[in-house]
Structure formats: C-alpha cells, structure tokens
A = this chain, B = another copy of it.
Amino acid sequence: MRSLPASAAALCALLAAAPALAADPLPLWADDGAQAKIVAFVESVTEEGGAGYVEPSRRIAVFDNDGTLWSEQPVYFQAVFALDYLKAQAAKDPSILTSPALKAGAAGDLEALAATGMDGLLEVIEVSHAGLSVEAFQDRARDWATTATHPTTGLTYAQMTYAPMVELLGYLRDNGFATWIVSGGGVDFIRGFAEAAYGIPPWQVVGTRGNTEWDPATKTVMKTGGATLIDDKEGKPVGIAQQIGVRPILAFGNSDGDYQMLDYVTSGEGPSLGLIVHHTDAEREFAYDRDGHIGVLDKGLDDAEGRGWVIVDMKSEWSKIWSGE
C-alpha cells in the first residue's frame, strides 16, 4: 500500500478522532438556543446505561399542528377548507344555503359569518365534515391541502409546513422516537395529509374527533356531525390518554391551547422536554403572541422559564420557514 502524504494522514487522524466534526443534526436550526437543548435531551435519553436513558418504546414525542408544524394565519387552514368546500357546493346548488351562516360563508363574508356565532360556524363546518365516510373525507382533505393555495404566500397549504419542524420530526425518529400529532384540528382532516407532509401515519394523529357511525350498507364508518372529543387545552391530555395510553416525554406547542399538554408531559417522573414555537417573524411568517386573534400565547410565555420550557424564536433560530419554498 502506498503511504499517504503526511498532511493527508494528519487530516485522517484528526477526522477519526474528532466527533465534534459530526454533521449538524438540525441544519435548519441555529446552533445555540433550542437546537442545543434538543440535541442534549436526545443524546441523554438515548445513551444506554446513562442516568437519563429511556427505552425506545417510551420515546414518545407529541406535537401540536396549527402554528407548530404548519402555519395558522390569517385563519386556521381547516376553516378555509370548510369555506372552500361550501363555496364549491353552493356554486353547483345554491339551494343548500338555507341559513344566514351558510349564506355568509359561501359569500366569503367572514364578518357576517362571525355574527352568527358558534352555531353558525359549526353549521359551515358540518357541510364539509359530515355525511361521508372517514376514508372519503381524508381523501377530500388531502386533495384540498395539496391543491388549494394560501392568499399571501401562494403556496399550497401542504407546502406551508415548517421545514425546521419536519427536519426535527425526522431527527427524533432517527433516534428511536415515535412522533405523534396532538391537535385541536380535526383528526381525519390531519390524517389526510400528515403521512406525506410529516411522515406521521394516521394512527399517530390525535385530534378533535367528530361523531361517527358504522354503516352496514356501505361497509364504511360515516362521519355524522358534531364532535365527541375537543382535543384542545385540557382535552389534549385526555386525547393522549385515550390514544397513546402512556405519558409522552417530549411536547412541542405554540399557544396556550397546548399549555395542559406541556404541563402533563413535563410532570412525569422521568426526563422530559417541553418546547414552544414563538411566532416572531412578521416578515417571513407572522408575528403574534399575547394578543393574537388565534394561537394566543400568554400564560405559556409567562411560565416557560419557571417550568424549563424552551421558547423557540422563529425569527432568529430558523434559517428557512416553509417546506415548499
């Protein structure tokens, strides 16, 4: 074997000896701040024999969706989906607009729709979310998320997932974690696109759950309207207990709707990590917290330091926002 030049040999020795030169595990994240804390946590729970070791089956990470994995401005994307469907149906058959709420929704008059109150909003939701099978509804959600486009970014909604968060999901899975969504959004809406968008399969999605019934005629489970679980605030620990059945060890949210989930996950006996996306980037995304019309982050901001929850400053910590840009 021909011997290497001395300089190359020295370089090889250096590379072999220097774990510090390992590839950046989260290249879209700033090196200090949240990334350092995430990596330290993951290294601790995966170190066999270490004091913080957690067996792979219990490495369960839960993520809010709206405002955490994808954007939620100017309104929850699922509301746009519902209105888009209502408009399309009304264009084919205006006689379906049997109430002031439905008329306002189909006209895109959000002020008039809001004036009809929660009952009016639910009426709009029902039109697009009931009277079909779970499978057909997931298809409807998938088609919409991958074709409809956002008014200001021009991207499809499925392209408006946060690239650093998708990267984080993969990093956690590479380290033996199971990644779950625990969202106030509709479970079947999210299931329609979560596998392609996030690598999260349908059975790892917990969400607000509509009523359903077995239909022996079509051999399907039909969505019948209304809801049997509101998976928000105190509903999030309940949804986790119902579907996961054990306490996760990592939770990531962005609003006070995630407070109880963070509280639950970081109050177990073993190691845990809580994180919060802080929307600070008016230029590339949106900037809002305590006074947001949705996605309000107030108590979480107050309590994060005392609880050891990590605030992720979107503007300074993420080098890229949208997966699809």
Any B CB within 8 A of the CB of A147:
no
**Measured CA separation A260–B216 after assembly (Å):** 8
Q: Tell whether, in the assembled complex, residue B242 and residue A213 are in contact, meaning their CB atoms are under 8 Å apart.
A: no
Interfacial chain B residues near A216, Cβ < 8 Å: 234, 260, 263
Interfacial chain B residues near A244, Cβ < 8 Å: 202-203
Q: Tell whether, in the assembled complex, residue B242 and residue A214 are in contact, meaning their CB atoms are under 8 Å apart.
A: no
Known pairs A245-B134, A245-B202; A263 contacts B219 (CB<8 A): yes
- A135 to chain B minimum Cβ distance, whole angstroms, is 7
User: Which residues of A (228-272) have their CB < 8 Å from a CB of B?
Assistant: 228-229, 234-238, 240-247, 260, 263-264, 267
Place the interface of chain A in its size category.
35 or more
Interfacial chain B residues near A228, Cβ < 8 Å: 228-229
User: A241: nearest residue on chain B (CB-CB)?
Assistant: B221
Q: Tell whether, in the assembled complex, residue B135 and residue A221 are in contact, meaning their CB atoms are under 8 Å apart.
A: no
| Residue from A135, A219, A235, A264 with most neighbouring chain B CB atoms (10 Å) | A219
Any B CB within 8 A of the CB of A314:
no
Any B CB within 8 A of the CB of A57:
yes
User: A206: nearest residue on chain B (CB-CB)?
Assistant: B243
Interface string of A183-219 (1 = CB under 8 A from B): 0000110010000000001110100010011101001
Q: Tell whether, in the assembled complex, residue A201 and residue B238 are in contact, meaning their CB atoms are under 8 Å apart.
A: no
Interfacial chain B residues near A214, Cβ < 8 Å: 234-238, 260, 264
- A307 to chain B minimum Cβ distance, whole angstroms, is 12
| Residue from A221, A263, A264 with most neighbouring chain B CB atoms (10 Å) | A221
User: A228: nearest residue on chain B (CB-CB)?
Assistant: B228
User: Which residues of A (11-30) have their CB < 8 Å from a CB of B?
Assistant: none
Q: Tell whether, in the assembled complex, residue B134 and residue A203 are in contact, meaning their CB atoms are under 8 Å apart.
A: no
- A48 to chain B minimum Cβ distance, whole angstroms, is 20
Q: Tell whether, in the assembled complex, residue B241 and residue A134 are in contact, meaning their CB atoms are under 8 Å apart.
A: yes
Interface string of A18-61 (1 = CB under 8 A from B): 00000000000000000000000000000000000000010000
Known pairs A188-B245, A203-B244, A212-B241; A219 contacts B134 (CB<8 A): no
**Measured CA separation A4–B160 after assembly (Å):** 66
**Measured CA separation A209–B205 after assembly (Å):** 18
Q: Tell whether, in the assembled complex, residue B135 and residue A219 are in contact, meaning their CB atoms are under 8 Å apart.
A: no
Instruction: Enumerate chain A interface residues (CB-CB to B < 8 A).
Output: 57, 134-135, 138, 187-188, 191, 201-203, 205, 209, 212-214, 216, 219-221, 228-229, 234-238, 240-247, 260, 263-264, 267
Top 4 A-B residue pairs of the complex, sorted by shortest distance between their CB atoms: A202-B245, A219-B267, A221-B241, A214-B234
